[in-house]
Structure formats: structure tokens, C-alpha cells
Structure 1
Amino acid sequence: MFIMPAVDIKNGKCVQLVQGKPGTEQIVLENPAEVAKGWEDRGASVLHVIDLGGALEEGGNIPVVEDILKKVSIPVQMGGGIRSIDDAAHLLNMGVDRVILGTLAIQEPEAVETLSQEFGSQRIMVALDSKDSQVVVRGWTEKTNQTAPELGKTMEEKGAGGILFTNVDHEGLLGGFKVEPLLELLESVNIPVVYSGGVSTLEDVALLSQTDCYGVVIGSALYKGTLNFEKALDYEK
């Protein structure tokens, strides 16, 4: 199970929001590329980069992502603001190891099929963000009428090579999470699933390590120091 530090970018800076809501910035760091390099230096083997500005339609931060890619040598998976096949292709050609498709994948599943055929399924991940047991899109502002297990099966059939499952109900709150929704998703698909949302203690990491979860994204807990990164790395397997 990979421990994946989150580098969320907004207005050119590394930030942490509560439940993805603008105006709830709790951590603001000036240089995302330096932050990313810091995680690599501390032992991270994968980075999770999100263009929050792109996701919230405030304007992208692609030059910042380019800086990160120049600075680090470990794989970078990236999402946020990927509105078209061309957007995804640009990032993959730029050096992003794996793109994370959210709204685009759910509204246009054919895009997953096209990209996985062109670039390989292992480079295409679909974000399934769950709120009140339903998948939400457009920066977590609109609900769909489908559950993560339902959409997970569909995305696997379309060629997705992985799923990022975010429990929005717990995101950024540092209050732990319920593991049942993740287990339901893991039972429904055969492709790797990365978990995100509410991971705040080593006990949370230990719990996830006992599942078939491929990786875990950790943000606020690392930046606030409530979870020790080096100790979390002990659970990589």
C-alpha cells in the first residue's frame, strides 16, 4: 500500500481545504514544487497532485505542475480541471505518470476508453468522490444518482486502470473515516483503488493496510503534523 502525500495547488500555492470548500484554506505554502521535493526527500514513492484552481474553474496551475515535474523524479498522479481528452493528453505528454479523471469520466465514459487505448490503462485513473453515498462531480458541488461501486464497475469496463475513492464526508476534517464504503467498492472492482478522505492517525493507516487498498492519499494530517509521515511509510507493502 503506497503512502501518497497530497500537494493541492490553488492560486499557485500549496493549500489544504476543508471538504474542498473555497475559503477554508488551513495550510498555505508558497512553493508547491519545493513542497513536492520535500516529500520525495522524506521517502515518498508517489505524489498526489491536484489542481484545485482547475477543479473549481478558477484558472489552472499548469506551470506549477511543470515545476513539480522538473523538481521530482518519482511518479506524479494528477487531477483537477481535466475537462477534455486533450487536457488529459497534454498532461500525460508533459510527464504526469497518471491522470485522474473526475467529471469528464463520469459524463463522458468514452473519454476513459479513448485515453486508456492511447496511453495505456495504467495511466488512467478515475476519481469517484462520494458524499452521502452518492458520487459527486464538478468539484464536489453536484450529485449524481449513482454509487461508487456502480460507477467503479462501469469505469473498469471502459478501461480505467485505477480508481481514486474520496469520502467527501470526511475530507479535511481529521476525524477518521468509515471503512465500509471503501470495502464495498473494493469488492465491486478488480482494478487498484486508492483511498482519500479523513485519514488522520497511524491507526487509520493501519486499518487501510489490512484491506486490499492500493494506496492512501494523506493531506491535512501530514501538514498539520497529526500523523508522522515516516511512521506511515512503515505500512507500505
Structure 2
Amino acid sequence: MILLPAIDIKDGNCVRLTQGDYNREQIYSNAPADMAKQWEQEQADYLHIVDLNGAKTGTAANAETIREMVRSIHIPVQIGGGIRSMDTIDAYIEAGADRVIIGTAAINDRDFLNKAVTAYPDKIAVSIDARNGHVAIDGWTETSDVKASELIKELESSGIQTIIYTDILKDGMLKGPNFQELKTINELTSINVIASGGVSSVSDVQRLKEMDLYGAIIGKALYDGTLSFKTVREET
């Protein structure tokens, strides 16, 4: 199972939100490229970078900051937030991104999703951010009528190879992931599932690994010192 430290970018800073609430923000660094280098030095398998401004507005608001981060390291990176055009995808792939994550557009613009998968079959992931089992969109500010389980079935037939599944109510709460939901999702599909939201202990990571998930994103727990990435690497 791959481990992905999360770096969320808002207004050019590394931040963490609680339950996706833009009004509950904590800034951890004003040097995102240095943060990326830190996780590389701590032997992260992969980086998970999200443009929070982009997720909310639908534009690549922090694109230059993110490109600088990608250029500064040598480990693979996946990028999400405001990915709603082929131009944005092309630019991030050209900048060195290993994977680009489509969120809101996977719900609202299936033609775009299909074009992206056709152009980059192994480089497109879909972020499924769920609130009470329904998919949230527009930076988690709106909840759609689409059930996460139904969306996943549709994505499987479209050729998507990887999804990032987040239980929003667990995100930033440091109380563990929604293991039951993740188990259900992982058993529902052959798509690679990356767990996100609530991972805050070595035992959380061990349990996700035992569930045979493809990956786990770790965010707030690393930044507030609840969890050491070195310890996670050594003990899992």
C-alpha cells in the first residue's frame, strides 16, 4: 500500500481544513515547495497535492505554486482541485504530474472525463468526496444527488484505474477513517482505491493495509504532530 502525505494549497500556503470547511483553516507553511521536499526526504511514496482555491472556483488558481512543487522533487505526484479542462490537465502532465485528479467534473461533465481518460488512460484519477454516502462537489461546498456507490460503478466502465475516496465528515477530525464504508467501496470495485480522511494513527494505516487498499492519504495528523511519517514507514 502506498502512503501519500497531503499538501493542500490555499492562497499559496500549505493549509489544512476541518471537514472541508474553508472557514476552518490552519496554515502550516508559506513555502509549499519546501514542504514537498520534506516529504520526499522522509521517503514518501507519492505526494497528494490539492488546489483548494481551484476546487472551489473551478480554475487552477495555484497552478504556478504547484508546478514549482513538482519541479522541486523526484517522487511521483498526483494533483487535484479545479481540474475542469484539458488545457489544465495537459499543463500539469507536462509539468511532471504522474496523475491528475478530476472531482466535480466527473459528475458535471462526463464528456470531459471521457476525453481525459482517452488522452491519458493511466494518468487520470477521480476524487469521490462523500457526505453521508452522496458525492460532494465544488470544493465540498455542495452535496449532489449522486450516490458514491453508483458513481463508482459507472467509473469502472469508463476505464478509470484509480479513485480517491474521502468521507468528508471524517476529514481533519483525527478520529480514524470510515473503515466500513472503505471496505464496502473496495469490495464493490476492481478500481484502485486510495483512502482519504481521518487517517491519524499507525493502527489506522495497518488496518487499511490489511483491507488491501491501494493507498492511504495522510494529512492533518502529520502536520499537527499526532503522527510521525517516519514511524508509519517503520511500523507498517
TM-score with structure 2 setting the length: 0.95
Query: 1:62-91, CA deviations, whole angstroms, 9 ceiling, x for partnerless residues?
Result: 111111111000100000011223222221
Mapping for residues 194-233 of structure 1, pairs under 5 Å: 194-233=194-233
Which has the larger displacement, 176-185 or 65-74? 176-185
CA distance in 1, matches of 2:146, 2:118: 25
Give yes or no for contact 2:28–2:223 (8 Å, CA) kept in 1.
no
Structure 2 residues without counterparts, runs of 5 or longer:
none
AA in 2 matched with 1:117:
T
1:179 Cα deviation after fit:
0.7
1:111 Cα deviation after fit:
2.1
Tell me the equivalent position of 1:78. Answer: 79
CA distance in 2, matches of 1:69, 1:229: 20
Give yes or no for contact 2:202–2:235 (8 Å, CA) kept in 1.
no
Which has the larger displacement, 63-72 or 79-88? 79-88
Q: Which has the higher strand share?
A: 2
Point out 4+ residue stretches in structure 1 off by more than 6 angstroms: none
Which has the larger displacement, 204-213 or 86-95? 86-95
Tell me the equivalent position of 1:165. Answer: 165
Mapping for residues 137-156 of structure 1, pairs under 5 Å: 137-156=137-156
Q: Tell me the matched-pair count.
A: 235
Partner of 1:6: helix, strand, or coil? Answer: strand
Give yes or no for contact 2:125–2:163 (8 Å, CA) kept in 1.
yes
Partner of 2:83: helix, strand, or coil? Answer: coil
Residue 107 (structure 2) pairs with residue 106 (structure 1): yes
Give yes or no for contact 2:71–2:96 (8 Å, CA) kept in 1.
no
% identity of equivalent residues: 39
TM-score with structure 1 setting the length: 0.94
Partner of 2:157: helix, strand, or coil? Answer: helix
Partner of 1:181: helix, strand, or coil? Answer: helix
Give yes or no for contact 1:4–1:46 (8 Å, CA) kept in 2.
yes
1:157 Cα deviation after fit:
1.0
